[in-house]
Structure 1
Amino acid sequence: MGKYTERFKLTAISAYLEGNNGFRKVAQHFGIDFSLLRRWVASHQADSGVGPKPVGRRYSDDFKRQVVRHMHEHRLSMRQTAAHFGLGQSSRLGIW
């Protein structure tokens, strides 16, 4: 189980999306790191949800190449690409 409930995450995401404040101000209000909020919002906007991700999932080499190619073609950051494909941690793209 994660540190934050899905309800808490959705409340923080809604506060950011519906308000006029930036990531830092909203994150400070909820007592969380702004990069965590940014990751939740990106995941939510990519419609991959904020719930727990499957652990230990393996991806084919072909899928990995497709993801990296998409990242380069669309000039996306690792965080944006991970959110787009619902990968959870963006750091795995650096390994690929």
Structure 2
Amino acid sequence: MDTNPTLGGSMGKYTEQFKLTAITAYLEGSWGFRKVAQHFGIDFSLLRRWVAGYQVDACLSPRSHGRRYTEEFKRRVLKYMLEHRLSLRQT
């Protein structure tokens, strides 16, 4: 287990190794988000976001900033969200 979860400084960002360790513990274990997050001393919603991002991208690297979506794309996403009764997080 990564015993130094932050990069240092006051921002509190977690290392990719720490994130991967927590994600792996959730995916390969029998504990739920809350139990794994408690074990690693992080908020369960943070772990849930890490896992969801990992499952979509199969990596931890952040997406490039400044990505712009067209109005048409945004409308299609909202329509899909409403049709399938999904939350913003699920969408």
Measured against the shorter chain, the TM-score band is: 0.7 to 0.9
* Structure 2 letter corresponding to 1:9: K
How many matched pairs? 81
Check the 8 A contact 1:44/1:50 in 2, yes or no.
yes
Query: Root-mean-square deviation (CA), in Å?
Result: 2.0
Check the 8 A contact 1:23/1:34 in 2, yes or no.
yes
Partner Cα separation in structure 1 for residue 55 and residue 19 of structure 2: 13
Structure 1: runs of 5+ lacking an equivalent: 82-96
Q: Which residue of 1 aligns with 2:62?
A: 52
1:16 to 26, 48, 51: 26
Question: Hey, which of these two has a bigger chunk of helix by percent?
Answer: 1
1:33 to 19, 35, 43: 43
Structure 2: runs of 5+ lacking an equivalent: 1-6
Rate the CA distance shift 1:69–1:40 in 2: closer, same or farther, 3 A: same
Q: Which structure would you say has the larger RCO, counting Cα contacts within 8 Å and 6 or more residues apart?
A: 1
Query: TM-score, normalising length from structure 1?
Result: 0.72
Q: CA deviation at 1:48?
A: 5.8
Check the 8 A contact 1:42/1:80 in 2, yes or no.
no
Partner Cα separation in structure 1 for residue 77 and residue 13 of structure 2: 29
